[in-house]
Chain A
C-alpha cells in the first residue's frame, strides 16, 4: 500500500456503520406519487432512476474509484419496499453491543412519521407473511428451516466478462432489437416482455446518469482544488465516469470503475443476498493490464493502487441489517462479496495470470473484512499460484478460501450447463456454485437436519413450540430396527421439505411479479433475449438451493442410535429418547459413552461414514431436480454460515451426546471433537459425500501457525488440498488459530477438541496435551508469526 491507499484503508476501517434514511425517503416518495401508474418492472426501473438522480454523492479525498451506495462510507440504506424496519428494530440496531449501526433520532422519527405508515401491509415481507400458510409459519417458528428471501431479495449473483466488452448503450441496442422482434400477434406475453425490456433500458439510463453525476461532481471539485496532482486525478475520474458504463471500458481504470458502477446499481435497486461480486476479476482485468503495461499507460504499481482503491470500496459497503427478531441477534457487517482467483478460462486452460498474484498481494497486505476472496484451484493451476495463496492463508485472516475448479465445472455439467458456461462460472457467497452472468442461483434457506430426527423420535411433535409439525411416523418406543428410525427420519425430511418448497414457490412468485430486478436483468444472459426478468426465469439457468445443516451431528446421532439402541441393545429407543428429553439429567456417564465410544463421522471410519452417505443420498433424492417457479430446479447444498448455532438452540439433546441448545456441527465438518484421526481422516470422510451432486459444500479446518511454518508447511498444506480435490472435494478453508484461541481452548477444551497443533517432530490434538505442554505451545505460538 502507498500513502494514499493506507489512508483510504484506515478511513474505511474507522468509518462507523450507520443507517441512512435517504433511499427509504426517495423510494417512499416515488411509490406514493406513482403507485398504480406503471407496470411492476417500470415502477422498479423508474424508482431506480429516481435513486440514481437524487441520491447524495460521495467523493472521498484522494479516491480514484468513486461511488457509494449511501451518502458516505458505511452509511447503509434501507429497502422498506421489501422489509420495513420497525422503530424497535432501529433502536436495537443502534444499541446492540455487537455489529451495531448508528441510527440518528431524526431517522427514527422519519421512519415513524412517513416510512412505516406507508409500507405497513404493503412491503413484500408483509404480503409474503400474510399469504404463507399456517403450516409454513409453524415449521418456520419451530426452527425447521430459515428463509433467505423474507429479509432480502434473491440476488446472490456474479458478473461475467460481458460488461468489459459492452457498454450500457450496447445493451440498450440489444434491448431495442429484442423489442422489435416481439410477436404481438401470437405471443400472449409480448406486452409484458415489452414492459420488462423498456424497464431494463430505463435501468441502463439510470446507471449512466449516476456515473455522469459523478463526472459533474469531479469537475466541480476541480474548481475547489489547488493541488495540481489531484486536479489531474479528478480530470481522469470525470473522463472515466463519462465513458463508463455508457461505453465499454478502454483501460484498466475504466474497467474497475465500470464494474463498481454495476455493483452499486445492483445493490441500490434491490438488496440481494450476498450483494454482488466481480467473479473472475484477474481474468477480466488481464487484457487491460497487459495493454496498459505495453502502451505505457499503466505500471504494476499504478494497477495495484487502483485495485487497492477498489478493495476499499467493498469494505465501505456494510451489509444492510435485518429486521424483526433477528435484529436483536448479533449479525455480521460482511456482505459476502467474493472475488474468484485463478480457475479456468472458457477454453479449459489455466486462468491464472500476473493479476492473480497482484490480487493475492493486496489480500495479504490489506486484510479487509470485505471483499472475501477465493481461489479456484484446478488441476491446471500451477503450484506456484496455489502456494502463493497458501502463504496468505497461513497468516490467519481466513482468506482466500480454496475451491476445486474442476469439481465446480463438473457440478455444473451435471445440472445441464454447457462446458464453456460452467468454466466461466465459479463460487460466490460462501461456497455456492453458479454460471456467472448467466444464472439466477437462489439460496432459499437452511434446513435443520437435527430437527427432522427430533420429529422422527417424537411422532412429529415439536416440544419447543408445543405443536405437531411433522408427520405421525409412530411412537419411537415401537421402532425395532435402525431402518425404521431412518425411514421415519426420511419421512419427516420429505414432509417438511414439501412445506418449505410450497412456501418458497409463493415467495419466488411474489418476487417475479412484484419485485423485478431490472438492472441485474440487463447484465444477466438471457434476460434481454427472453424479455424476462432475473427474478422471473429470464436467466439462462435457474437453480434454487436448499442448504442442509448438521450432517456431522446427524451422522453421529444415527450412529449412536444404531449401535446403542439396536446392535448392542444397551438402551432401547424409548428410554433413550426419554434421556434426551431430560437433557441427560442423571445420565452423564451414558452421555460420555455416547460422546466417546460410538463410531463418529470424520475419522475415515466406514461404519459412521456410510450413515453420512445414506443421509446425503436421501436428501439428494428428496431435493434435486424438483421444479422451481422459474423453469429451473431445486438443488442441494451443504453449508451453514452461522445457522448451525441457531438450529442447535432450537433442538433438544441429541443421540450423539450433544446437549440441548448446543450448536450442531458446521458445514460438512465433523462434530467438534469427534474427529480423532487428524486432518487426512477428516478430508477422507468428507470426500465420501458425492460433492459433484451438490451446489457446494463447506469444510473448515483449524491449524496453528506453527504447523504450517516454513516452506515445508506450505508443501504439506498443498498436499492436503490437492489430495482432497483429487477426491472431488468442493471447498476447504484453513483457519490458522492464534495463541488467544489456544488459551480459550485450554479453558474450554470440549469446544476445541479438533484443534491440531504442531508439538515437536509430530502433531497432536491440543486438548490431549498436558497443561504444561499446552502452556509451552501457547508461549511458542505467541513468538511465532503472530
Chain B
C-alpha cells in the first residue's frame, strides 16, 4: 500500500470541479510560483508553521521565536503541547486506503450534488503512486475523482493517474518557455508535451489558466495560450482563474517574500477581455473553477 504526505483535506470545496467536493492537498511541488496559494505545500517534507492570530503568548515559545516568521528548533512534541493550535505541523503521512476512507466521508454530498474528490497540491504527481492508488480506490467505490495538476510530471505517472481520474484540471501558466522558467523555476516543455499527449487519451480535461497581473495576463501570452489549446481537438474547456492574494499571509510563515504584494485581483471586465482569444477559437470558457 503506497503512502504519501497530505497537507490538508478541504471539505465543501466548490471550485475544483463539479458539485460539492473534498479537495486533498498533497505536499511537495517542483514549481515555485510567486502567486502560490499554498506556499507551505511546496517542500516535500513536513514542516512547522505558527499561526500568530491564534497565539496567546502562553510562555512556551519566547518572544524572539515569536517575532521570527519561521518556526525553528521546535518539534512534534511542541505542536502537541501548544494550547491553542497556533503551532501546527504541515504534512501528515498516511496510506492510500486511509486517505481514500477519509476523503469519502462526504460521499452523501457528492451523491446529491454530482461532486467528488479532487487531488491538488502542491503537485499531486510528485506522489504519483500514492495519488493513483487513492483515486483507484475511490473510483472503485463509485466516487468521482479529479486531478488538479501543473503537468510537470513523468508521462507514465501522468498516464497512470489520468486513467483513474474522471476529470483532469490542467494548469497552464505561460507559453513562452523563458518566461515560464523565470516565473516558476522550470521549463514548460514537459508540461506542454504532456498536455498534448493527454488530450489524445483523456476525454474530460479542463485547462485552467491563473490570471496573474504582470506575470501572464498580457495579450501575447493569452493569444499564444488560446492558439496552443485550440490546436488540440481534445481540449475544448478553459477556465480563467483570477489572481487572488490568498497566499500572501502564508508566505511569511514559510520564510518567503511575496512578490505580488499590493496587486489587485483582475476585474470581471478585464477577465471578459482576456477571454476573447479563447472565444474566438470556439473554446468553452468559464471564470473561476466551479462548474
Chains A and B come from one and the same complex: yes
Interface, chain A (partner B; CB < 8 A) = 588-590, 592-593, 595-597, 604, 677-681, 683-684, 707, 712, 715-716, 718-720, 722-723, 726-727, 756, 758-763, 768-770, 772-773, 776
B14 interface hit (Cβ, 8 Å): yes
Q: A712-B14, A761-B241, A762-B10 are in contact. Are A726 and B85 (CB under 8 A)?
A: no
11 A-B pairs besides A719-B115, A762-B13 with CB distance below 8 A are A593-B84, A680-B11, A684-B108, A716-B20, A723-B111, A760-B242, A760-B246, A761-B16, A761-B241, A763-B14, A773-B248
Q: How many angstroms from the CA of A758 to the CA of B20 in the assembled complex?
A: 14
Residue B85 contacts which of A590, A596, A707, A723 (CB distance < 8 angstroms)? A596
Residues of B within 8 Å of A683, CB to CB, are: 109
Q: Are A590 and B20 in contact (CB under 8 A)?
A: no
The smallest beta-carbon distance between B267 and chain A, in angstroms, is: 12
The smallest beta-carbon distance between A774 and chain B, in angstroms, is: 10
The smallest beta-carbon distance between B246 and chain A, in angstroms, is: 6
Residue B53 contacts which of A595, A680, A722, A768 (CB distance < 8 angstroms)? A768
Q: Are A719 and B11 in contact (CB under 8 A)?
A: no
Residue-wise, chain B 1-42 has the 8 Å CB interface mask toward A (1 for contact) of 000000000111111100110010000000000000100000
B56 interface hit (Cβ, 8 Å): yes
Q: A677-B11, A716-B113, A718-B113 are in contact. Are A760 and B105 (CB under 8 A)?
A: no
Residues of B within 8 Å of A681, CB to CB, are: 11, 105-106
The smallest beta-carbon distance between A608 and chain B, in angstroms, is: 14
Q: How many angstroms from the CA of A768 to the CA of B105 in the assembled complex?
A: 24
Q: Are A684 and B242 in contact (CB under 8 A)?
A: no
Residues of B within 8 Å of A723, CB to CB, are: 20, 108-109, 111-113
The smallest beta-carbon distance between A730 and chain B, in angstroms, is: 16
The smallest beta-carbon distance between B41 and chain A, in angstroms, is: 13
Q: How many angstroms from the CA of A593 to the CA of B82 in the assembled complex?
A: 8
Residues of B within 8 Å of A768, CB to CB, are: 51, 53
Residue-wise, chain B 100-133 has the 8 Å CB interface mask toward A (1 for contact) of 0000011011011111000000000000000000
B244 interface hit (Cβ, 8 Å): yes
Nearest-CB residue, chain A, relative to B242: A760
Q: A589-B58, A592-B56, A679-B12 are in contact. Are A720 and B246 (CB under 8 A)?
A: no
Q: Which of B13, B37, B83, B85 gathers most chain A CB within 10 Å?
A: B83
Q: Are A773 and B12 in contact (CB under 8 A)?
A: no
The smallest beta-carbon distance between A692 and chain B, in angstroms, is: 17
**Residues of chain B at interface, number, CB under 8 A:** 41
The smallest beta-carbon distance between A604 and chain B, in angstroms, is: 6
Q: How many angstroms from the CA of A593 to the CA of B85 in the assembled complex?
A: 8
B265 interface hit (Cβ, 8 Å): yes
Nearest-CB residue, chain A, relative to B243: A760
Nearest-CB residue, chain B, relative to A678: B12
Residue-wise, chain B 71-88 has the 8 Å CB interface mask toward A (1 for contact) of 000000000000111000
Residues of B within 8 Å of A719, CB to CB, are: 19-20, 109, 112-115
Q: A590-B83, A680-B20, A720-B20 are in contact. Are A761 and B109 (CB under 8 A)?
A: no
Q: How many angstroms from the CA of A683 to the CA of B20 in the assembled complex?
A: 13
Q: How many angstroms from the CA of A96 to the CA of B72 in the assembled complex?
A: 57
B290 interface hit (Cβ, 8 Å): yes
Q: Are B58 and A592 in contact (CB under 8 A)?
A: yes
Q: Are A726 and B108 in contact (CB under 8 A)?
A: yes
Q: How many angstroms from the CA of A680 to the CA of B116 in the assembled complex?
A: 13
Nearest-CB residue, chain A, relative to B120: A762
The smallest beta-carbon distance between A524 and chain B, in angstroms, is: 38
Residue A592 contacts which of B83, B241, B244 (CB distance < 8 angstroms)? B83
Q: How many angstroms from the CA of A770 to the CA of B51 in the assembled complex?
A: 10
B234 interface hit (Cβ, 8 Å): no
Nearest-CB residue, chain B, relative to A679: B12
Q: How many angstroms from the CA of A768 to the CA of B49 in the assembled complex?
A: 14
Q: How many angstroms from the CA of A761 to the CA of B53 in the assembled complex?
A: 23
B288 interface hit (Cβ, 8 Å): yes
The smallest beta-carbon distance between B36 and chain A, in angstroms, is: 13
The smallest beta-carbon distance between A763 and chain B, in angstroms, is: 6
The smallest beta-carbon distance between A370 and chain B, in angstroms, is: 33
Q: How many angstroms from the CA of A768 to the CA of B85 in the assembled complex?
A: 12
Q: How many angstroms from the CA of A158 to the CA of B246 in the assembled complex?
A: 50
